[in-house]
């Protein structure tokens, strides 16, 4: 129950120039305490940039549709959700104004974690494992959700980040409808933090999927954070 509460954001507000997700994994034990202080809060005009992390990694930044979704500097960014999988569970938000739920997750033991990550992680290593996040913004007018995460692959795993807009009132698993590709992953043998902005369009929600294509190369995923963008209020 304690960790679940740490991931659920209260209705406190703050102004910040950078998200809490930019902390290194080495600060995670301290970060779990700090998470309790972060509510669904406003980050005025914030733009999250991809950052180099561990293992001599590089960076990738995906900003497709950024100008369309963030049409005004006065729009707000509202921190929504953070997950590091260290307790072996992909926690969910099931009450309140917003919803975050998971489909098709695989969380191997920490013994399988690459050296540049720590603790447990989310992993996909076949086309039958496509971890999917359902995000619903309810009646809020936010225009998109920013997905930040760290990934590692020893060799190209043929994994894309894709999405499908939806007005589902509850998540539907598995999702078989057509998804739109939002980002690819080309860096190998290094931990990379990536940032992708997903549009809601005219829908109240969106499914975000780490879709594994053909082959059996593995990709590890960690430090996933979600931020609502283009909001008039949080």
Which DSSP symbol is given to 40? S
What pLDDT, on a 0 to 100 scale, did the predictor assign at position 19? 39
Number of domains in the chain: 1
SS (H, E, C) 80-126: EEEECCCCCCCCCECCCCCEEEEECCCCCCHHHCCCCCCCCCEEECC
What pLDDT, on a 0 to 100 scale, did the predictor assign at position 124? 96
Beta bridge pairs of residue 22: none
What pLDDT, on a 0 to 100 scale, did the predictor assign at position 63? 52
The whole domain housing 112 covers 2-231
What pLDDT, on a 0 to 100 scale, did the predictor assign at position 175? 81
For the chain, what percentages of helix, strand and coil (3-state, to nearest 5) are there? 10, 30, 55
Low-confidence residues in the chain, pLDDT < 70: 1-74
Beta bridge pairs of residue 228: 78, 145
CATH number at residue 225: 2.60.120.260
Chain segment 117-167, per-residue pLDDT in tens: 999 999 999 999 999 999 999 999 999 999 999 999 999 999 999 999 999
């Amino acid at each position: 129950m304690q960790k679940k509460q740490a991931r659920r954001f209260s209705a406190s507000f703050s102004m910040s120039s950078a998200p809490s997700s930019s902390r290194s994994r080495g600060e995670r034990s301290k970060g779990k305490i700090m998470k309790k202080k972060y509510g669904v809060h406003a980050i005025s005009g914030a733009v999250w940039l991809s950052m180099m992390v561990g293992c001599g990694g590089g960076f990738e930044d995906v900003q497709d549709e950024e100008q369309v979704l963030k049409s005004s500097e006065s729009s707000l960014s509202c921190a929504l959700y953070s997950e590091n999988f260290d307790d072996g569970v992909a926690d969910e938000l099931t009450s309140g104004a917003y919803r975050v739920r998971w489909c098709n997750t695989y969380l191997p033991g920490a013994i399988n974690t690459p050296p540049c990550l720590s603790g447990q992680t989310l992993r996909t290593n076949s086309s039958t494992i496509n971890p999917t996040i359902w995000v619903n913004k309810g009646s809020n007018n936010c225009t998109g959700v920013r997905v930040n995460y760290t990934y590692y692959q020893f060799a190209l795993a043929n994994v894309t980040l894709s999405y499908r807009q939806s007005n589902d009132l509850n998540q539907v698993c598995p999702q078989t409808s057509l998804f739109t590709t939002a980002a690819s992953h080309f860096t190998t043998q290094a931990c990379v933090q990536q940032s992708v902005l997903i549009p809601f369009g005219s829908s109240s929600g969106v499914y975000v999927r780490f879709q594994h294509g053909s082959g059996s190369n593995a990709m590890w995923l960690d430090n996933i954070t979600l931020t609502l963008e283009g909001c008039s209020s949080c």
